[in-house]
A and B are shown apart, each in its own frame.
Chain A
């Protein structure tokens, strides 16, 4: 369910300190999310492509993830060009295609893909556990990190419980239908899942108490500084600065603006 196909690897990106990657991905995503001019967006898109390339990931898998998100983006292309009114680009019979809509949809496409590719290259190249530790070291709130790691640990157990309940219903001839009986069964299943999850939480907490848990979170992860980190930080910073510069002083090369 939650596999980590990109976490194992030994590319340039994989070797960079997870903390640097987390910070870089946050700063970079924020900047890309707020820029609007096309030179800046294309630069970001290209830079994200470079990140993916240097992470040496299975491109088919990357594409599969991108397709998933671009399904949503497709919805924008189906709606925005026809609804965001303004200058008419051209007419398809009775339907007008509006220029601001097309521009907006294009911006969303570039932005979302650039951010997603950067996150795949920088963040999904570390395991959940590493990400948790990186967040802990970056002084993210402890409760947040705990919640993240425990969710990761127990989502599989809850999935198993869900499968168990589902099997129990199925072997007794239950098949989904639009009936009160079916809704009631679903309600029971969900309720049972919550009850089991809560009982599980209780037992886990007891087990933690037995081992002296007092609310403090210790981590064993060691992150070392290396030359690669410096080069990485400088590269990402330069790219980010370039994107901001292009946003503020867009070159008049492209016919959009």
Chain B
């Protein structure tokens, strides 16, 4: 880790402490670095502060103590975070939180329009992202009438339309069927972005990330080497000889 260049460093968190009012700290003296090209999985019990960490990184919450450096600069003010949010895209746990426009196209174009793109540019970006995700036919669909899996993919489109450098994915596999999970896996394999994924699905993390960290006592624990092991599992047609991706 130490050998990597500072120029490659995207995130540098030092001694971050955060507590919700009247509660024990969820994050305590947390250190964390993220470098360009990193693909990190975050696997930790509920309530260990994973989502809180994401919200701190993009300034939706402010730490009680500690230093947050993003792209080499210390960020504290809301004004700094506005620029950060264009480069770091957060995929929310609940797609219904992310999709608020009546139609898919408007929701995807919302970010680019806020970034000052013209209507034509915003439409072009949105079309490109939607077609990349195989959602071209969804442009005029009504967002709340989409299925859970479709909502998740469209939310991802709204994040990608900001053309971020880093993705923070908060339990992207939650409640998705097998088909959508496979789609999401393929998409993550094909995009060339730095990302952190929160998930409880270890198989998914092994496939999509290069390092899996966990959290305990308000800190991030590194487990650079994911040990390969065997265990029994059950699924349909399991008796037929098969391979797992």
Residues of chain A having any CB pair with chain B under 8 Å: 127-129, 132, 149-150, 152-154, 156-157, 200, 203-204, 206-214, 216, 218-220
Contact = CB atoms under 8 A, between A and B. Distances in A.
B52 interface: no
Contacts of A220: 105-106, 109, 113, 119, 122-123
A152 B92 contact: no
Contact of A129 (B90, B96, B103, B123): B103
B103 A211 contact: no
Contacts of B86: 212
A211 B55 CA distance: 13
B114 A153 contact: no
Contacts of A156: 144
B125 to A, nearest CB: 12
A10 to B, nearest CB: 15
B58 interface: yes
B85 A210 contact: yes
B98 interface: yes
Given A156-B144, A203-B92, A220-B123, A211 B110 contact: yes
Contacts of A216: 114
Nearest to A222: B119
Q: Secondary structure at chain A's binding surface: helix, strand, loop or mixed?
A: helix
Give the 5 A-B CB pairs with smallest separation, nearest first: A129-B102, A212-B114, A211-B111, A218-B113, A203-B97
B115 interface: yes
A220 B110 CA distance: 9
B48 interface: no
Given A153-B100, A212-B114, A218-B110, A206 B82 contact: no
Given A207-B97, A216-B114, 12 more contacts: A128-B102, A154-B100, A204-B97, A204-B100, A207-B98, A207-B100, A210-B60, A212-B111, A212-B162, A218-B114, A218-B119, A218-B122
A210 B58 CA distance: 8
B29 interface: no
A203 B100 CA distance: 11
B101 interface: yes
